[in-house]
Homo-oligomer: A and B are copies of this chain.
Amino acid sequence: MRIGIGMLGLGTVGSEVYRLVQEGRDEISRRLDATLEVVAVAVRDPSRVRACSVPESLLRPTPESVVRDPDVDLVVELMGGIEPAREAVTHALRARKPVVTANKALLAEHGTELFELCDRRRTEIAFEAAVGGAVPIVRTLRLSLAADRVERLVAIINGTTNYVLGSMAEGRSYPEALAEAQRLGYAEADPRLDVEGHDAAQKLALLIGLAFGAPLHWSAVPTIGIGHLTPADLSHAAELSHCVKLLARAERRTGQGRLAVRVGPHLVPRGSLLASVSGANNAVLLDSRAAGPSVLVGRGAGGLATAAAVVADMIDVARRIVAGSAGIGPYLWASGPLPFADLDEEVERAYLRISVQDRPGVLGRLTTLLGEHRVSIASLVQRGHQVDPVDVVLLTHPCRVRDLRLALEAIAKDECVLEPPCWLPILEA
């Protein structure tokens, strides 16, 4: 049997996908009992196709012509961006042609409608490559944990910020570290989506959909970026045997039937598995009722790793085409929406850095204000002496977030406090 592949886009990932399918031809046929054959490729500008050896006869000027081609059984969308990807994918799914995509932005914006379309038309959209790069998290959530109940998901799913934070831990300033990441290709020319945490929020929303079965738009995820962190935060954390990671978290608060969701920088204890995830790697920690805790770690991005995830999805979907089956069960299987927990009600330990003018009495006022708000201090260190500003670094005992927030609002008004305090939650192991 021959499965006709229609590709949309032939950039870095698309070229690698084409190459993997061609070079892996024999092995894929043996593993699949069928042949994957690329029969049409939509490219915006055929004259610019150079990087790979796609025969000119396969090139098509528009995504529609590929999707409508009767020889195309499976559509591989690698254009990126929202339009015309959304339109092409929608057409394919309506025609009951399954889709494989690496397009996180598309799924973040239109995932719910595309998933509902799949469920209605009994077809499927596979997107392992869209979240977590080479980390097989989509498959693990959809298949391995199908009989389990995820209680907690904590992920490092933005390679750019992980790289930048690691670089800052070595003493570089935020702008230096970011420039370095851009030079190495780990950060976009416009890095805001990454460093402000929105890329992580988009991926987290997709993972929450898979783990908890309910749709969620990423813009609803409370999100804090890393732009306010200084190298001093990284070195204070290191002295306290922690490192700083941008984490995407979703945790059931079982008493309330609610989900505590957020993206932001955290202190992570140095001995933990997440702390050892360095550079542009990604990791997902899952805590499930039956399976217990588990961690998946791998490359977060890169054309070849992404292409391998795409081709694995193609083989997986092709198996179902060969078998004449359609779809893989509903995407959104929860019986109702997922109410969020109030983050103000969370109880957690925190790291605080408060930049102050070193004047008599200032430390007393800070600690008094914290105490008045029921924030109990586990340790306090004053960095620097008789220089302005000095950093007062505190670790708290577990405290209610609302109390801490109100305490910090009061502290920020103190005349000796020079900028808004920096506050990072501490991840419990």
Q: A: which residues have CB within 8 A of B?
A: 16, 20-21, 24, 26-28, 30-33, 128, 134-136, 139-140, 143-148, 213, 271-273, 276, 288, 290-299, 302, 304-305, 307-309, 311-312, 314-316, 319-320, 322-330, 333-335
On chain B, the residues within 8 Å of A299 by CB distance are 291-294
| 12 CB-based A-B contacts, threshold 8 Å | A30-B213, A134-B292, A139-B143, A140-B140, A143-B316, A146-B315, A147-B312, A291-B299, A292-B299, A295-B297, A323-B326, A324-B325
Taking A292-B304, A294-B296 as known contacts, 15 extra A-B pairs with beta carbons closer than 8 A to each other, sorted by chain A number, are A20-B147, A134-B294, A136-B140, A136-B143, A136-B144, A139-B140, A143-B312, A147-B312, A290-B308, A291-B298, A292-B305, A294-B298, A296-B297, A319-B329, A320-B323
On chain B, the residues within 8 Å of A147 by CB distance are 20-21, 24, 28, 308, 311-312, 314-315
Is there an interface contact between B134 and A139, defined as CB atoms closer than 8 Å? no
On chain B, the residues within 8 Å of A324 by CB distance are 323-325
Copies in the complex: 2
On chain B, the residues within 8 Å of A314 by CB distance are 147
**Closest chain B residue, CB of each to CB of A29:** B333
**Closest chain B residue, CB of each to CB of A291:** B134
Is there an interface contact between A312 and B146, defined as CB atoms closer than 8 Å? yes
Question: Which of B292, B297, B308 touches A148 (beta carbons < 8 Å)?
Answer: B308
Is there an interface contact between B329 and A31, defined as CB atoms closer than 8 Å? yes
Is there an interface contact between A27 and B148, defined as CB atoms closer than 8 Å? no
**Closest chain B residue, CB of each to CB of A303:** B290
The CA of A290 and the CA of B24, in the complex, are separated in Å by 12
Is there an interface contact between B296 and A296, defined as CB atoms closer than 8 Å? yes
On chain B, the residues within 8 Å of A333 by CB distance are 27, 30-31
Q: Separation in Å of the A132 CB from the closest CB of chain B?
A: 10
**Closest chain B residue, CB of each to CB of A17:** B147
Q: Separation in Å of the A383 CB from the closest CB of chain B?
A: 27
On chain B, the residues within 8 Å of A330 by CB distance are 30-31, 33
On chain B, the residues within 8 Å of A30 by CB distance are 213, 330, 333-335
The CA of A48 and the CA of B139, in the complex, are separated in Å by 39
The CA of A75 and the CA of B134, in the complex, are separated in Å by 33
**Closest chain B residue, CB of each to CB of A334:** B30
Q: Separation in Å of the A306 CB from the closest CB of chain B?
A: 9
**Known: A143-B312, A147-B28, A273-B297. Contact between A305 and B291, CB under 8 A?**
yes
| Interface pairs A-B: 7 shortest CB-CB | A323-B325, A294-B298, A147-B311, A290-B308, A134-B291, A136-B144, A325-B325
Q: Separation in Å of the A201 CB from the closest CB of chain B?
A: 24
On chain B, the residues within 8 Å of A316 by CB distance are 143, 146
